[in-house]
Structure 1
Amino acid sequence: MTSCGESVQVALCGLGNMGSAIAGRLTDAGLPALVFDLDAERTRRAAEASGAAAAASVAELATADVVLLSLPTPKASLEVVAELAPLMRADGVIAETSTVNPPDMAAAGEVCAPHGVGIIDAAILSGVSQMRCGAAALLVGGEDRHVRKAEPVLDAISGSIRRFGPLGSGMSAKVLNNAVAHAVMVVLSEAGALAAATGVSGTALAELLGGADAGLTRPLTHRFVERILRAEYEGGMPTEAARKDSALVLDLAQQTNVPLFALQSTHTVYELGLAQGLGRYDYSAIATLWEQWTGRPMSETGDGSGGE
């Protein structure tokens, strides 16, 4: 990444908790920053705390080389982009740090393109405290030339920048990461309830699941990376055995009066896998169901046909 010492003017629109933390990172890095929020008092406080200059309107931000957005909704972001793009220099770049979906980034890109303004997604994976201390991770998507233009700014606010691909890919990565985390939280809550009902301590369960070959890590490191991405489903633990184990936990939940939501719904997939002839293949072969349903392979071998 490019050094933060390069001369670049940066502006920031949106001064909530995350936006205020970003403002502090910018001024700590010595970048001349101009900040704005619809709430004038919030703008004043953030400018005072960070040492940035306060803008009186969105239009004033258009003088910057790079404009960062930290806004509450996709609609708000698109409205700001629509106001900024016609006013910015043709080589200016808008960097979206708010959490939006890839189609939102595509819509913003369409607004920017006629004016020669670039736009990238710089999704923030970390929380406010990590941003404040410089440990936040950014998931970046967009054209290389636009990312390069914004590099001094990205370097200033992030201790870890991960490049994913075209516009929208960084946002997609964040949404997917969060979806997995939120789904896992439900599964862990169900597992914890079952553990409490059957005399297994939560500490012991956490130690078990955290192991390299256990239920949290093994599906990712072995089954997703080594099997699904390579379309290698021969051998391993058969889908029919996974279905049997899934049925056992449903029985256990009934016996202990523990309500299930995530584990109940995942069992359906294994039933579908057996119906599709995947019984003797490794249970990661359930991924091929989604390949059939979407018509898009997950494997990176160019095959994606799996074990069928």
Structure 2
Amino acid sequence: MRSPVGLCGLGNMGSAVARRLSGTCQVLAYDLDPARTGAAGELDGVTGVAEVADLAQAETVVLSLPTPAVSAQAAAAIAPGMRPGSLIVETSTVNPADMHRLRELCAPHGVRVLDAAILSGVAQMAAGTSTLLIGGDEADVARARPVLDALAPRQLVLGELGAGMAAKVINNAVAHAVMVVLAEAGAMAAATGVSERRLAELLADPEAGLTRPLTHRFLERVLPGDYEGGMPTSAARKDSTLALALAQDAGIPLFAIQACHSVYEIAVGGGLGRQDYASIATLWEQWTGRPISEKE
């Protein structure tokens, strides 16, 4: 990359991004904290700038900022000075609506917007092993490719603008919810004499309860819309009832598992008792009016 790349935000992740970019191009860097800007400017290939608007001289500007509001403020300051056809790449974690707002701010100036959510931590970015979740027009993705390649070797293009951010937010929501379930499972194991480490080994098995709902029930049943045979929803409800009773007997407070049980009650009451319990996905199809399965 011959032209400089702008970088707004030099926190922990932003600093790692600066190091990755500086290996392939000249970087113009800015942070609201002058000390951070100064520290980044000491890196080979990185030049600190005094004002956020100074980043407008770059054809591509990367945002690595703490909140959607700060990203919007930065884009509003940078975009007016950028040349038409320039590109702002949002790597901060925001929602699709925030990406659409960025597009609205930048479009009057002819500036394009792309989301490239970082699906990893600072250590992975520093090591060059990150994954980017990308949303935007194909032409914009192609134009940003040198910057994207400098940041991460693995890139998943999810769809239109905002799709990358949606995928990251959904992924994080799953991870955080699963962490609550695992904490509840660990508490039940401790109360019933099950080795927590042995429980972890069990759950890590591809045929056990942690990954099989994804690899079998979601991929092989929900997506094709095939709910015949398999473990009936009524049986899943029975097992869920047993788990609630076990926790009650052991004095273990449940939150996620308790809430999930309600879905099986609704599913059985709604006539799904004899179908595979992956059929609970059809409840969301009914509630939202949108298909989850790929079945036409």
Q: TM-score, normalised on structure 2?
A: 0.98
Alpha-carbon shift at residue 9 of structure 1 (Å): 2.1
Verify: 1:21 aligned to 2:22, yes or no.
Answer: no
Written as runs of structure 1 = structure 2, the 5 A alignment for 1:256-275 is 256-275=250-269
- Cα distance in 2 for partners of 1:14, 1:181 equals 26
Query: Which residue number in structure 2 is paired with residue 159 of structure 1?
Result: 153
Query: Which residue number in structure 2 is paired with residue 173 of structure 1?
Result: 167
Unaligned runs of 5+ in 1: 1-5, 303-308
Verify: 1:189 aligned to 2:175, yes or no.
Answer: no
Query: Which residue number in structure 1 is paired with residue 125 of structure 2?
Result: 131
Verify: 1:59 aligned to 2:50, yes or no.
Answer: no
Query: Which string of whole-angstrom CA distances, capped at 9 and with x for unpartnered residues, describes residues 113-146 of structure 1?
Result: 2221110000001000000010111100001111
Query: Which residue number in structure 1 is paired with residue 6 of structure 2?
Result: 11
Query: Which residue number in structure 2 is paired with residue 235 of structure 1?
Result: 229
- Cα distance in 2 for partners of 1:61, 1:49 equals 17
Aligned-partner SS, 1:123:
strand
Unaligned runs of 5+ in 2: none
Query: Which residue number in structure 1 is paired with residue 214 of structure 2?
Result: 220
What is the Cα-based RMSD across aligned positions, in Å? Answer: 0.9
- Cα distance in 2 for partners of 1:8, 1:130 equals 26
Counterpart AA for 2:101: A
Aligned pair count reads 296
Query: Which string of whole-angstrom CA distances, capped at 9 and with x for unpartnered residues, describes residues 42-80 of structure 1?
Result: 100122135400111111100111100001110000111
Aligned-partner SS, 1:49:
coil
Contact 2:26–2:45 (8 Å) recurs in 1:
no
Verify: 1:47 aligned to 2:41, yes or no.
Answer: yes
Contact 1:8–1:152 (8 Å) recurs in 2:
no
Query: Which string of whole-angstrom CA distances, capped at 9 and with x for unpartnered residues, describes residues 24-48 of structure 1?
Result: 11112x2111000011111001221
Aligned-partner SS, 1:234:
coil
Alpha-carbon shift at residue 7 of structure 1 (Å): 2.5
Query: Which residue number in structure 2 is paired with residue 94 of structure 1?
Result: 88
Query: Which residue number in structure 2 is paired with residue 286 of structure 1?
Result: 280
Contact 1:23–1:50 (8 Å) recurs in 2:
no
Query: Which residue number in structure 2 is paired with residue 211 of structure 1?
Result: 205
- Cα distance in 1 for partners of 2:283, 2:99 equals 29
Aligned-partner SS, 2:42:
helix
Contact 1:15–1:37 (8 Å) recurs in 2:
yes
Q: TM-score, normalised on structure 1?
A: 0.95
Query: Which residue number in structure 2 is paired with residue 106 of structure 1?
Result: 100
Query: Which string of whole-angstrom CA distances, capped at 9 and with x for unpartnered residues, describes residues 258-306 of structure 1?
Result: 110000000000000011100000000000000000000001122xxxx
Aligned-partner SS, 1:35:
strand
Aligned-partner SS, 2:115:
strand
Written as runs of structure 1 = structure 2, the 5 A alignment for 1:145-156 is 145-156=139-150
Counterpart AA for 2:79: A
Query: Which string of whole-angstrom CA distances, capped at 9 and with x for unpartnered residues, describes residues 131-178 of structure 1?
Result: 001011110000111111111011001121111010000000000000
- Cα distance in 1 for partners of 2:117, 2:161 equals 11
